[in-house]
Each structure stands twice: as structure tokens, then as C-alpha cells.
Amino acid sequence: MTAVDVVVPVHNEERALPESIRTLREFLESPAFPYDWRIIIGDNASIDGTPAVGRRLEDLSGGAVRYVRIERKGRGYALKEIWGASDADIVSYMDVDLSTGIQAFPALIGAIAERGYEVAVGSRLAGGSQVTRSLKRRVLTRGYNTIIKAAFFTRFSDAQCGFKAARR
């Protein structure tokens, strides 16, 4: 059975974390997600109550949730450390606010596990997505992604938000 690590990078998310992890866990436990999985909370140097909340979620999970503290801010640092230490077949991450429709997550993992892709990207900006955001936020997001596409010649539509996965 394919094993998937689902990393949720956080910084000062003590309030959002319990509900997000509960929602994510319920989804991963459902028949909609046919893979073995583990949730890893990647705490990026939080200075609020996130460490206590993360450790409590780990303690109460029966092994389904792991809390990892990274003493440096930045999603990239958390992913590098956690993915680098992973023994899962597929490593992934998603935003703590679960902003990209979680129903698309099985297809993202399936692209790697069953269709042979090495990397898969889920995005709120994909064609057909229905997103409600302020004009300012839309302009900033589109501008940032345009810069990323121009600088790195990428074809994906969202470099930051959503969820990503890769074959380990």
C-alpha cells in the first residue's frame, strides 16, 4: 500500500490547527482516500501556543499525527527537513486553512501513485476553480505567480497556495 506523508506547515496557528487537523484526519480516514497516511505538523518557529497544541494533537492521535518543531521560519525549511527525513512513498503538503478543496487531494496523490507522475500540484487558481477573494489579494497572487512563471519558466498556476506532492 502506498504511504503518504501529509505535512501541514504552520507558524502561529494555535487557533486554526485543531479544527484543520480534525477535518484533514476525518477526510484521510474516509473511503475517499485509499492510501496509508500520516499527518505531520511542521511548526515553523511559532511563538504562540502552537507548540503545545501540536504536541497535544500528536499525543491524542494514536500515531496518526506527528508534531515536528523547526526553529527557523519558512515553509521551505519545514518541508526540506520533514520531507528529507520521510520514509513515505509520497510526500505532500497543504495549507493549514485547507484553502484548496480537499476533495481534490486523492486525485493529486493518485497522479503520482497510480499514473506515474513525479510531482503534482493542486491549486485554487486552476481552471474551473471557484474562489472568493478580495481584489487586492487576487492582484497580489496573480502578480506573484506571474513573476514566478517568468523567472523560472514554470507552467503551474499557483506557486504558494494549495497543496503539492512529490514522489520521495
For 116-167, write each residue's pLDDT tens digit. 999 998 865 555 555 565 677 667 666 766 776 677 676 655 555 678 999 9
Rg for the chain (alpha carbons), in Å? 16
Q: How many CA atoms lie within 13 A of 49 on its CB side?
A: 8
Long-range contacts of 108-111 (CB under 8 A, 24+ apart): 108/163, 108/165, 109/2, 109/4, 109/33, 109/35, 109/165, 111/165
Cβ distance 44 to 77 under 8 Å? Answer: yes
Residue 158: per-residue pLDDT: 54
Contacts of 95 (CB under 8 A, 6+ apart): 8, 9, 161, 162, 163
- Rounded to an integer, what distance in angstroms lies between the CA atom of residue 94 and that of residue 7? 7
Q: Which CATH superfamily is domain 3-124+161-167 in?
A: Spore Coat Polysaccharide Biosynthesis Protein SpsA; Chain A (3.90.550.10)
Does pLDDT of 35 surpass 90? yes
Residue 131: per-residue pLDDT: 53
Please give the model's pTM, rounded to 2 decimal places. 0.83
What tens digit of pLDDT does each residue of 56-109 get?
999 999 999 999 999 999 888 999 999 999 999 999 999 998 877 899 899 999
Q: Which three cell numbers stand for residue 47?
A: 511563538
Residue 96: per-residue pLDDT: 92
